Amino acid sequence: MSKSEGLGLMTLTRAVLYYLSEHPSMVGFRWSHSQSWGSTWSFLFSSIAAYLALSLLLHSALLLLFRRRDRSVPLGPLPAVHSLLMALISVTTFAGILLSSAAEIRDTRWMWRRSRLATTPFQWFLCFPLGTRPSGRVFFWSYVFYLSRFFHMVRTFFTILRRRKLSFAQLFNHSILTFSSFLWLEFSQSFQVLSILCTTSVYSVVYGYRFWTAIGLPSACFPFVVNCQIVLLGCNLACHVGVLLLQLIKGGCNGIGAWVLNSVLNGAILLLFLNFYFRTHKKSSSSHPSSPPASAEAKAEKAAVVKEKEL
């Protein structure tokens, strides 16, 4: 590598670090009902209610306009563009919160040594110290993630228009995840950093794959999205266990009340996903009782691939 290339690489690295973790708008960010768009409880509940109402209205309108249930509305490149944008937003959020977490640990770890309960960087990822305020770089990216949840909801309307199906699991999942993201900011909840890292990393892969298939490239021969969902749910479950252990050992994690509510909601999502997963495999195996094991397993995977498009 020449000297000019090395200088160019260093300049690029500094620019990336600056715009993802050191920009004044990130360092000086503060979650506030008067300054942050979408930060009030009334906005949260009204937006979720509007999402549910629009979904029901669109589904009902299609049932009235089109008698044939197999007739879909052409969307052109919209699903591919949405998937590409979601993949880019997820990658950017992942890189931003990872770099911001490293900068936050660098700037505040001296305070941890002086506190009554010593905190390590790994513990900080799971358990914010008591008194943590929703301000700074990390909460800026948590706010970006919260706003991206509304853009994520658009996929529900694509599902209704293309497949003429209104999935309760999809409506519940989007609504609860948006509500949970709000709780993270409102109560400076512990666990959110690792949860955002896990979610955005999986979403980067999932939406990249959806863009890949949307532009006509070959899809996987197994339920790729479902397997990614299993990985994400497993990561979230492990993180919840870690927060619980630190709460019992250290005696206090910030926003633990919101974390309890979040755990209940995530448990409901987990139960819905397991119900979907086992119901899909059971339906496939019961419809082909005489099929050999290998054939039945292949049919189950094919059914899951079709069903996962609703997720």
Lowest mean pLDDT among 107-121, 158-172, 231-245: 107-121
> With 90 as the cut, is the pLDDT of residue 302 above it?
no
Identify which has the larger pLDDT, 94 or 170: 94
Q: Nearest Cα to 146, choosing from 122, 168, 170, 179?
A: 179
pTM: 0.87
Distance CA 45, CA 40 (A): 9
Distance CA 308, CA 311 (A): 5
Asked if 206 contacts 225 with a C-beta cutoff of 8 angstroms, the reply is yes
**32 in the Ramachandran plot: left (φ > 0), alpha (ψ -120 to 50) or beta?**
beta
Q: How many CA atoms lie within 13 A of 79 on its CB side?
A: 23
pLDDT at position 7 = 76
Distance CA 35, CA 143 (A): 12
> With 60 as the cut, is the pLDDT of residue 301 above it?
no
CA-to-CA dists, residue 222 to 256, 300, 308, angstroms: 39, 10, 11
pLDDT at position 280 = 72
Task: Please write the tens of the pLDDT for every residue from 151-198.
Answer: 999 999 998 888 778 888 889 999 999 999 999 999 999 889 999 999
Query: 3-class DSSP state for residue 102?
Result: helix
Lowest mean pLDDT among 29-33, 65-69, 293-297: 293-297
Distance CA 5, CA 3 (A): 5
In percent, the amount of the chain with pLDDT more than 70 equals 84
pLDDT at position 97 = 96
Confidence of residue 294 (pLDDT cuts 50, 70, 90): very low
pLDDT at position 300 = 46
pLDDT at position 136 = 92
Asked if 204 contacts 94 with a C-beta cutoff of 8 angstroms, the reply is yes
Confidence of residue 298 (pLDDT cuts 50, 70, 90): very low
pLDDT at position 305 = 52
